[in-house]
Amino acid sequence: MKMAASTIVSRKIIKPSTPTPPSLVHHNLSLVDYINTPEYCPIVFFYSKPENCDINQISHILENSLSKVLSFYYLFAGLIKDDNSYVDCNDMGVEYLHVRISCPMSEILNHPYNDVVDVVFPQDLPWSSSLNRSPLVVQLSHFDCDGIAVSACLSHKVVDGYSLSRFLNDWADIARQVDFKPSPQFNASSFVPLMDDAPAIPNGVPEPQRHVSRMYNFSSSRLRKLKDIVATDSGVVQNPTRVEVATALLLRCGVVASMEKSGAFKPILWSHVMNMRPPIPLDTIGNAISYFGSVAMTEDDIKLPNLFARLREAKQQLRGELKDKNTDQLAAHVLKERNEGADVKMDMFGAYYSCTSICNLGFCTIDFGWGRPVRVTLARNSRKNHFLFLDDPSGDGINVIVTLTEDDMLMFQSNKELLEFASPVVQ
């Protein structure tokens, strides 16, 4: 599909409604912030056409509420310094764009590939570097005849998925004039401090790779069926979660697709993200994530019960390691994890698969005053072999954005085992 034409209606700088106190102007990054790449994480919310509210009123509501919420999330209106150690919270403001898209919203939502949503983000901004720029850029897009989209690109240098959700929900609550004051705590560096002898970290972002993305849906009924099969076949693991069983199936289908293309099995390495809240407090805004993962060295390792067992084992091991850790121990854990990742000899593996879940974080309930979104998604990931798990706005199931090479996707999307449990959101 040819990218729909877009026209910038307005471009503004939105500043916090109240100045940031001098004592908060210098914000030290945590060790996890420091290690993270400075790429913009691009998320978008599509809404049906609001009733009794024209597009100018909608933009006014978003601008005013954004200014108010930035007084609490003052960090996002500052400047990420390129030495990777701090944010200058100077109230320079965030960029806000109002854009008209010359096509119906349904044309975007009904396209089989997720890649077309890139039109609702500022050009070339998703996954690019946020260094020496404002951590946050917002775009309101309105379509011909039906619907709007609100997108946010927020730097991974200062937030993880949990923090992003907290910010967006607080912004939406203020837009709806809910009577409350957000209480974010930018204190991640007090739990995982950046030490003086921290390893040198490249400032760049990964080179984009050639690939395509599709969104798949696991309905609640199919997830129950998959859980029953995995629990029975594993023999020992009870109460598998929906993300666990979906991860195991997607990893298996991804490897099978690669095998069909190459004609042979090659060992794989995979990882998943875990929220470190707790032991870090729930109101901490920043990066508080760790990783667990494993390898599949033989074809037997990619059988569904074996993949699931490895996933559960790695997950429980990380939880055990994080339990009751103090500040010094958390920092040591993060540094050890980073060093172990850097030491992996990638030439031993045919592929590396990364998984991220932002389920149960409230993204599908974000309501600025015109109802819940009809779809939540992200811009095409900059890296191949990635699975991103989101709640399904229409029910208890989950959606997964699958990013693979074009050749692997052709094999993947026709996999009978996959299609028994998951369906493309758009056929």
Catalytic positions are 156, 367
Give φ, ψ of 184 to 5 degrees: -70, 145
The beta-carbon contacts of 151-154 under 8 Å, at least 24 apart in sequence, are: 151/42, 151/43, 151/44, 151/45, 151/120, 151/121, 152/42, 152/43, 152/44, 153/40, 153/41, 153/42, 153/121, 153/122, 153/125, 153/126, 154/40, 154/41, 154/43, 154/76
Burial 307-335 (b: 16+ CB within 10 A, else e): bbbbbbebbeebeeebeebeeeebbebbb
The beta-carbon contacts of 231-234 under 8 Å, at least 24 apart in sequence, are: 233/304, 233/305, 234/305, 234/308, 234/309
Helices (H), 288-364: 304-322, 327-343
- Cα distances (Å, whole numbers) of residue 138 to 40, 43, 59, 182, 388: 11, 10, 11, 19, 22
Q: How far apart are CA 312 and CA 316, in angstroms?
A: 6
Which token pair is 266? 């090659």
Please return the burial class of 80, using the count of CB atoms within 10 Å of its CB with bins 0-12, 13-18 and 19+: buried
Q: Which of 276, 326, 291, 35 is nearest to 163 (CA)?
A: 276
Q: How far apart are CA 41 and CA 339, in angstroms?
A: 24
- Cα distances (Å, whole numbers) of residue 251 to 178, 195, 246, 247: 42, 36, 9, 6
Q: How far apart are CA 230 and CA 243, in angstroms?
A: 12
